[in-house]
Structure 1
Amino acid sequence: MKYDFLIVGAGYAGAVAARELADAGHKVLVVDKRNHIGGNAFDTLDENGVLIHPYGPHIFHTNSRKIFEYLSRFTEWRFYEHRVLAKEKDAYYPIPINRITINKVFNLNLSEEEVEGFLDTKRVKKTEIKTSEDVVLNSVGHELCEMFFRGYTRKQWDLDLSELAAGVAARIPTRTNDDDRYFSDTFQMMPSHGYTAMFERILDSKNIEVRLSFDYLLNRKEINFDKLIFTGPIDAYYENCFGKLPYRSLRFEHEHFAVDQFQSVGTVNYPNEQDFTRITEFKHITGQVVSGTSIVKEYSQSSGDPYYPVPNPINESLYQKYLAKAELEKNVYFVGRLAQYRYYNMDQVVGSSLALVNKILDK
């Protein structure tokens, strides 16, 4: 059988592209080397009946009404605002840094109006912002940088703040009020029945066929198709012809406890203690009511499945070589965090996929 489109990857990028093309009348085959759909957003019940995210916590948030309404076609939502604490020497501090964090760290009682002036006395003013270190020092100064950012960055990226692109640290705001939400987006929700159920509905079309446990890169000639959308690592597609792009991987340690609650918020960061970066307790995120609770500890590592592109000028320069090669392709398209070597959030992947399909259909 010949397909109009072969889509490699059943995560957000692949599933959204498949649905849009299928709705436009195209016959689509989606393949994934894993044995499930949903990519890293896949969720499932563990052996204790707790809904977990095997690949670490995924919290949906966006400022785009268009993307929120698009996904609302495939799921009902549960309102959820994520909260994160950082543990440091037996004390817990709100992250992102806010007035409560600053007062607790410096043993002060500043009002909202006074916080900005206090931070001005701590900031290391930078005339040019090139690295994540520049971002943090320019925002909060040395003490808060060492307490919350430098150690966490070293564990997460195996790089110093000074070696990481500015955009990574720029994702985390500094607040002068008591807002302790991790995200400030307009829409902060979780799929009521989980991500996997949402992906099942996205891929539910007579024009979509899904084939799991199929590694396209090892079986390139097995499928007959007109056009290809690839959502995996772009360097792997081209057999690392210019060299491997660096990615950070993760190792997950899942645990279950016979208690109702393990920690007071969804995620606790460990910037300077422990080998892991953070612990997430899933019942906070999902709202599931069930006996016992399940958590995951995350360990960042250099080898394993690629999760995060490593943003810095050297890696970007290497990516541009692959991008130049990709732009010469006539019927091959690349979309998603790994294919575009971008540190995308979930909503950004959806937006990028919708934009690609619009471009293809316009042609």
Structure 2
Amino acid sequence: MTSVPFLSFGPQNQQIRAQVLEAMTQVFDSEWYVLGEAVKRFESEYAAFNQTTACVGVANGLDALHLALRALNIKAGDEVLVPSNTYIATWLAVSMVGATPVPVEPSLATYNLDPTRLEAAITPRTRAIMPVHLYGQACQMSEIMAIARKYNLQVVEDNAQAQGASFGGQLTGSFGVLNATSFYPGKNLGALGDAGALTTNDESLAQQVRTLRNYGSQQKYYNEVLGYNSRLDELQAAVLSAKLPFLPEWTQQRQALAAQYQAELAGISGLHLPTVAPGATHVYHLYVVRTPQRDALQSYLAGQGIGTLIHYPVPPHLQTAYKDLGYKPNAFPLAEEIAATCLSLPLWPGMSPEQAKAVTEMIRGFYNN
């Protein structure tokens, strides 16, 4: 029996071990560990990669979302349109500035925010739209941006899972006025701990975020606004700079594994495979299938040594943290259906075609029993 973990860093780490250790050694020897040259270098490199004029490194992806909204002066009494189907961080950022998250249902085909449902959710208090490029697929940004322009709304992309994805040839993380990403270790570009960044083409907003991340200060000991301590660490920045040149290769590996899954799992009745929207690309941070037999399939695969995870078992509107919003079961049935039926299969750089084949054979074995 071939055992396949849900995620392994082994092949990736082996490939980049020398570069990462050298980068960390340089930081160690520099004797400068916070907001130094390593952060400046990575910010420049990631901005160039993401085809934006600026990148601002922060402590994590949630802080990136929060600081984006803070810089845009979104506050108590405002509303932000968010997907009903997303990781809770998207909602938390809205709550952290005192605004109200207003859920909008996804497309069952792509799992992403459904642009055709946005206008019905807009009220006089709506200030922004926060699309999430979930699982690595770009949202349908042309329609989202058109609605934002029509109603004079800001767009803040949550690009934590989709570094390198695009819609209509334009990279995710470059559409909105300020956009957030995460470099949590499991992300397509991951640090060795928490890390995040914002991307933008507006230098004045970039400077606001630089101030907010550093205690509200541009000059040491002089504080202009109530800020935060949310600075990308020099060590993590150096690691990310070492890894960034490998990201296109790792993305191609993810896409090749996803194509293998698509071919080898095609035609199984009741198993819904990922669908990519016209104009979008998918970088497969996660390869997510759906089936009414999700729990049984997950248990069966675990018994065969195949690791899987559920992203995500409880949608934000049903989390205890958001009970005060008053949402009941069936308030957002599409998000709830995805939560009850989705299953993420193993997929990571360095995973072999033979390992992917083992996964698909086990899945076919489950359906043939």
- Normalising by structure 2, we get a TM-score of 0.23
Q: Which is helix-richer, 1 or 2?
A: 2
Q: Which is strand-richer, 1 or 2?
A: 1
- Bigger relative contact order (CA 8 A; separation at least 6): 1
Q: Which has the larger radius of gyration?
A: 1
